[in-house]
Amino acid sequence: MPPLRIRQGGAIAERSLVHRVNAAYPLEAKFRRLSGIVRLHMVIDTHGAVSVVEPLSGHPLLVPPAVDAVKQWRYRPTMLNGEPVEVDTTIDVIFSLQ
């Protein structure tokens, strides 16, 4: 039987983040002065690893580094009634030239 999966907002999931890898800013995007937000759907498994990452929106040059970085993120496992559950969430990765 697959584990229970709950839906959680990005701000709530953010609080359980224990290891973040920043997305590399693509050189071509820097050269073109592109900035923006990449919105990703992701599933955090019962061990706190990101098991699914699907791009929802964002500039095509910015999506691949955002996905690559988020795949490396780690979270504290989410518990429900003492049992670990998967978390379904949406997050934004911000690329800013500042």
Residue-wise pLDDT for 28-39, tens only, equals 999 999 999 999
The kind and range of the H/E element at 91 are: strand 83-95
Q: Check residue 23 and give its pLDDT.
A: 97
CATH code for the domain in which residue 34 is found = 3.30.2420.10
Q: Check residue 86 and give its pLDDT.
A: 93
Q: Check residue 48 and give its pLDDT.
A: 95
Mean pLDDT of 62-81: 95
Residue 8 confidence class, pLDDT cut points 50, 70, 90? confident
Q: Taking the mean position of all CA atoms in its chain, how far away is CA 61?
A: 17
Mean pLDDT of 48-74: 98
Q: Which domain holds residue 47?
A: 5-95
Burial class (CB in 10 A: 0-12, 13-18, 19+), 87: buried
Burial class (CB in 10 A: 0-12, 13-18, 19+), 82: exposed
Q: Check residue 14 and give its pLDDT.
A: 77
Strands 78-80 and 74-75 turn out to be unpaired
Residue 1 confidence class, pLDDT cut points 50, 70, 90? low
Strands 83-95 and 5-7 turn out to be parallel
Average pLDDT, the chain: 92
Q: Check residue 81 and give its pLDDT.
A: 87
Answer whether 1's CB lies under 8 Å from 83's CB. no
Domain count, the chain: 1
**Minimal CA–CA distance to 42: which of 67, 61, 76?**
67
